[in-house]
């Protein structure tokens, strides 16, 4: 007998207190071991429209809702007695007549009976506008989907008894209507409302629909078939978001596809790129017993987060985790350097590099170039590309360095850079770029590689040295390199050609369009900070339009305060309101542009009666406190409520960065990455977002509308 759990059950389980969750998990495990156990006291739910709904007893008041047939048991829901029965009485589970996917469908008549106010918005056709009127008359809103016939709606998974409400729905009622539709239908209709194009869900061509309705891609996002007690226990204990188990069809397609060259998955914040990366690493291990997989990202805190996600996904299978190496870019390089050369690298600090550059410039009597320019040229060109001589400097691409340098200027600069490199070498020091390049040279010449497959998360922040190393340690062959990232979140690196370094992902790039993490309101507001289309140096485009969020929430609050004290109180009120609504302190984040503004974040948290904990490059565990940190440290994290504060004039964009610009054309890069920073911080929020500043505020605030 097949044993399955539904995402509606995992959602309901997560809403229960910890003690009740424990009791539920015990009952579900007992159910899988012995469905006939008398302690479960199973009873058919007689008032349900679906004769296969049964209840099972957890304790005196808690009830499991089961969908039971001769060949399967599905755990569909859990709640206290009356609410559990009410849930089952309003639903049925069936295969869609057109797509073939199993769906949990709400009974339309019962929904309309419970919400007559909404029913009127769904079922009353709007009156025609008057031909003429002596005074202005409000014209009723037109239905959003009046042009879509039954066949079109059935093709995207709309249940038959919901066809008319969808066709009659206006904008005012559609978002609440969407909450009562199967996810694939709601997403397709949201996409149509935004773009005017109705796109059937992927892989739902009738001729290709699998014989088993539970194996349909849209059913796999709702139902998990559990093969063993250990697998069930792992699924019930998983603290990670449900999308780690219930993949969207577009995510599953990327996870399971084989690529004959480097490949990339893109998508705006919250579309599940990290979920895809972790699933893909696990899939590679399971498909090939000899595989050695590297899962890497740009920082140690995010590497730690990936380790936790991998442990959840691997569950009780002890053969998976030891075969996947998880490391930050620098952590990986440090380990490989010791393996390759028998010693740890001595990496120069930023102050040591600055000192070497300043000393070399002084000794050379170099005039006409600021220290800021020399440092930026070193980091972005000389060190990044490991320029070795004057001839190479004359030819090296200076992408992202918009101020042009003529041949005479480069001739004048090169001896200074060569002397700075010599100074560091005399001290036995390498830069991190030097470490990456040394390793790339070492492994490029070797047939045996340390890994068979490499999966990279947050790939938009790869630099030239890091990408060159990854290409060198991956063997030739299928599925060797896979990248997950979003150009709209690039905040650390200058653009450069991936193709030139051997990572040509053109033709093997997929963009995810369904956002699970961020509400429709927050996503739409944050998207206004970025252009609709982002293009990389190789000409590959990432289209940001057409992304949809699967849930709604409060509109973001954009506030200006007269002074810092007033802003502190406003942010404190936001935190208190979030906690009062049931959001735990650990699910709240407060972010600022730089460390200079951190005292303002700390003061706001303390004014709310909470304890702040400062995020760092090495630590993201906040316990039961509220996280505060810079926008750079927000990357890769998520919270139910986020306050982005101190977005003042001359703070965002950073006045220091603007002052460091050598030529006016470089301002474009400064403004672009500063916008990306604000976008990253705002899109860490799932349900609630506050963006605040002291008057007059950042010029970016106007972009929110």
What interhelical angle do 273-287 and 300-314 show, nearest 10? Answer: 60
| pLDDT at residue 298 in the model | 87
Task: State the pLDDT confidence band at 611, using cuts at 50, 70 and 90.
Answer: very high
The average pLDDT across 495-520 equals: 86
The parent domain of residue 107 ranges over 102-208
Alpha-carbon dihedral of residues 15, 16, 19, 25, nearest 10 degrees?
Answer: -90
| pLDDT at residue 615 in the model | 87
Range in 195-199, 461-465, 490-494, 585-589 with the lowest mean pLDDT: 490-494
| pLDDT at residue 493 in the model | 60
Share of the chain above pLDDT 70, in %: 89
Q: Token pair of 607, please? A: 């004014």
Q: Token pair of 689, please? A: 């977002």
563 with 664, same domain: the answer is: yes
135 with 276, same domain: the answer is: no
pLDDT of 207 > 60? The answer is no
Question: Are 189 and 544 in contact, with CB atoms under 8 Å apart?
Answer: no
Domain count, the chain: 5
Of the residues 398, 429, 460, the one at which a domain ends: 429
423 with 475, same domain: the answer is: no
| pLDDT at residue 613 in the model | 93
Tell whether 531 is covered by a domain: no
Tell whether 219 is covered by a domain: no
Task: State the pLDDT confidence band at 702, using cuts at 50, 70 and 90.
Answer: very high
Closest by Cα among 463, 516, 36, 18 to 241: 516
Q: Which residue has the higher pLDDT, 642 or 110?
A: 642
559 with 577, same domain: the answer is: yes
Task: State the pLDDT confidence band at 203, using cuts at 50, 70 and 90.
Answer: very low
Strand partners, 535: 541
pLDDT of 78 > 50? The answer is yes
Average pLDDT of the chain? 87
Range in 197-211, 335-349, 556-570 with the lowest mean pLDDT: 197-211
Closest by Cα among 51, 40, 149, 148 to 94: 51
453 with 332, same domain: the answer is: yes
- Rounded CA gap, 74 and 65, in Å? 9
Q: Which residue has the higher pLDDT, 687 or 548?
A: 687
Tell whether 576 is covered by a domain: yes
pLDDT of 648 > 60? The answer is yes
370 with 501, same domain: the answer is: no
Task: State the pLDDT confidence band at 66, using cuts at 50, 70 and 90.
Answer: very high
| Burial category of 324 from C-beta neighbours within 10 Å (exposed 0-12, middle 13-18, buried 19 and up) | buried
Listed in order, strand segments (DSSP E) in 160-292 are: 223-226, 263-267
373 with 395, same domain: the answer is: yes
pLDDT of 229 > 80? The answer is yes
**pTM for this prediction:** 0.83
pLDDT of 338 > 50? The answer is yes
332 with 366, same domain: the answer is: no
Q: Which residue has the higher pLDDT, 423 or 14?
A: 423
Tell whether 628 is covered by a domain: yes
Question: Are 77 and 64 in contact, with CB atoms under 8 Å apart?
Answer: yes
Cis peptide before 19 (omega within 30 of 0): no
Listed in order, strand segments (DSSP E) in 175-244 are: 223-226
Question: Are 587 and 610 in contact, with CB atoms under 8 Å apart?
Answer: no
Task: State the pLDDT confidence band at 238, using cuts at 50, 70 and 90.
Answer: low
pLDDT of 394 > 70? The answer is yes
Residue 463 CA: distances (Å) to CA of 405, 499, 515: 22, 13, 27
- Rounded CA gap, 26 and 42, in Å? 16
Q: Token pair of 679, please? A: 């976008």
Task: State the pLDDT confidence band at 332, using cuts at 50, 70 and 90.
Answer: very high
Closest by Cα among 2, 94, 98, 88 to 44: 88
Tell whether 690 is covered by a domain: yes
Task: State the pLDDT confidence band at 696, using cuts at 50, 70 and 90.
Answer: very high
Return the CATH number at 44. 3.30.2310.20
Return the CATH number at 464. 3.40.50.300
H or E stretch covering 198:
none
H or E stretch covering 133:
none
Tell whether 544 is covered by a domain: no
Tell whether 539 is covered by a domain: no
317 with 200, same domain: the answer is: no
Q: Which residue has the higher pLDDT, 106 or 538?
A: 106
453 with 408, same domain: the answer is: no
Share of the chain above pLDDT 90, in %: 52
Closest by Cα among 622, 461, 548, 511 to 254: 511
pLDDT of 346 > 60? The answer is yes
411 with 457, same domain: the answer is: no
Question: Are 655 and 597 in contact, with CB atoms under 8 Å apart?
Answer: no
Task: State the pLDDT confidence band at 80, using cuts at 50, 70 and 90.
Answer: very high
Task: State the pLDDT confidence band at 268, using cuts at 50, 70 and 90.
Answer: confident
Strand partners, 549: 515
Tell whether 215 is covered by a domain: no
303 with 247, same domain: the answer is: yes
- Rounded CA gap, 126 and 568, in Å? 47
pLDDT of 164 > 70? The answer is yes
| pLDDT at residue 263 in the model | 94
Q: Which residue has the higher pLDDT, 431 or 170?
A: 431
Longest CA–CA span in the chain (Å) reads 91
* Cβ burial 403-417 (10 Å sphere, 16+ → b, else e): eebeeeebebbbebb
| pLDDT at residue 205 in the model | 42
Q: Which residue has the higher pLDDT, 692 or 34?
A: 692
The average pLDDT across 539-564 equals: 84
- Rounded CA gap, 49 and 635, in Å? 46
Q: Which residue has the higher pLDDT, 270 or 56?
A: 56
| Burial category of 534 from C-beta neighbours within 10 Å (exposed 0-12, middle 13-18, buried 19 and up) | buried
């Amino acid at each position: 007998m097949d044993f399955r759990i539904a995402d509606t059950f995992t959602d309901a389980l997560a809403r229960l207190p910890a003690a009740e969750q424990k009791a539920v998990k015990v009952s579900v495990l007992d159910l899988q071991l012995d469905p006939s156990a008398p302690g479960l006291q199973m009873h058919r739910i007689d008032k349900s429209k679906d004769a296969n709904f049964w209840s099972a007893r957890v304790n005196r008041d808690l009830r499991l809702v089961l969908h039971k047939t001769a060949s399967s048991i599905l755990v569909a829901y859990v709640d206290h007695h009356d609410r559990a029965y009410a849930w089952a009485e309003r639903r049925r589970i069936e295969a869609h007549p057109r797509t073939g996917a199993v769906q949990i469908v709400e009974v339309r008549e019962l929904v309309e009976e419970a919400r007559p106010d909404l029913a009127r918005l769904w079922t009353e056709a709007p009156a025609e506008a008057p031909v003429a009127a002596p005074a202005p008359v409000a014209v009723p809103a037109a239905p959003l989907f009046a042009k879509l016939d039954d066949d079109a709606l059935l093709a995207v998974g709309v249940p038959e008894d919901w066809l008319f409400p969808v066709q009659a729905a206006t904008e005012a009622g559609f978002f609440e209507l969407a909450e009562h539709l199967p996810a694939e239908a709601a997403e397709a209709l949201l996409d149509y409302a935004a773009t005017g194009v109705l796109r059937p869900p992927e892989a739902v061509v009738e001729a290709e629909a699998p014989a088993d309705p539970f194996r349909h891609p849209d059913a796999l996002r709702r139902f998990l078939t559990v093969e063993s007690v250990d697998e069930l226990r792992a699924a019930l204990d998983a603290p990670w978001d449900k999308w780690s188990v219930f993949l969207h069809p577009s995510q599953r397609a990327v996870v399971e596809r084989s690529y004959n060259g480097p490949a990339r998955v893109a998508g705006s914040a919250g579309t599940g790129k990290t979920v895809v990366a972790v699933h893909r690493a696990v899939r590679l291990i399971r498909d090939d017993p000899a595989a050695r997989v590297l899962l890497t990202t740009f920082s140690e805190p995010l590497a730690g987060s990936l380790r936790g996600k991998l442990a959840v996904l691997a569950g009780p299978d002890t053969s998976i985790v030891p075969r996947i190496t998880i490391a930050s870019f620098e952590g990986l390089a440090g380990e490989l350097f010791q393996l390759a050369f028998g010693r740890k690298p001595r990496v120069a600090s930023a102050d040591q590099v600055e000192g070497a550059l300043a000393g070399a410039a002084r000794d050379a009597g170099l005039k006409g170039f600021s220290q800021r320019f020399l440092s930026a040229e070193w980091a972005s060109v000389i060190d990044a590309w490991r320029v070795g001589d004057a001839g190479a400097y004359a030819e090296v691409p200076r992408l992202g360095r918009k101020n042009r340098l003529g041949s005479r200027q480069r001739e004048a600069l090169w001896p200074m850079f060569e002397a700075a490199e010599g100074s560091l070498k005399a001290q036995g020091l390498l830069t991190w770029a030097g470490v990456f390049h040394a390793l790339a040279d070492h492994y490029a010449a070797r047939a045996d590689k340390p890994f068979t497959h490499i999966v990279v998360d947050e790939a938009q922040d790869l630099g030239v040295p890091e990408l060159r190393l990854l290409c060198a340690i991956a063997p030739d062959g299928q599925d060797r390199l896979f990248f997950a990232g979003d150009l709209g979140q690039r905040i650390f690196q200058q653009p450069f050609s991936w193709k030139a370094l051997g990572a040509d992902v053109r033709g093997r790039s997929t963009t995810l369009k369904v956002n699970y993490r961020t509400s429709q309101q927050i996503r739409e507001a944050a998207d206004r900070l970025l252009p609709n289309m982002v293009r990389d140096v190789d000409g590959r485009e990432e289209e940001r339009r057409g992304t949809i969020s699967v849930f709604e929430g409060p509109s973001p609050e954009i506030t200006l305060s007269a002074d810092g004290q007033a802003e502190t109180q406003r942010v404190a009120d936001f935190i208190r309101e979030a906690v009062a609504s049931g959001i735990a302190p650990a699910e709240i984040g407060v972010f600022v542009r730089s460390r200079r503004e951190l005292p303002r974040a700390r003061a706001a948290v303390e004014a709310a009666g909470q304890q702040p904990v400062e995020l760092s490059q090495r630590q993201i565990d906040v316990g039961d406190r509220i996280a505060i940190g810079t926008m750079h440290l927000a990357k890769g994290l998520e919270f139910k409520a986020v306050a982005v504060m101190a977005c003042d004039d001359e703070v965002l964009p950073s006045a220091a960065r603007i002052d460091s610009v050598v030529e006016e054309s470089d301002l474009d890069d400064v403004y672009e990455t500063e916008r990306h920073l604000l976008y990253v911080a705002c899109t860490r929020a799932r349900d609630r977002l506050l963006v605040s500043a002291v008057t007059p505020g950042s010029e970016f605030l106007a972009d929110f509308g």
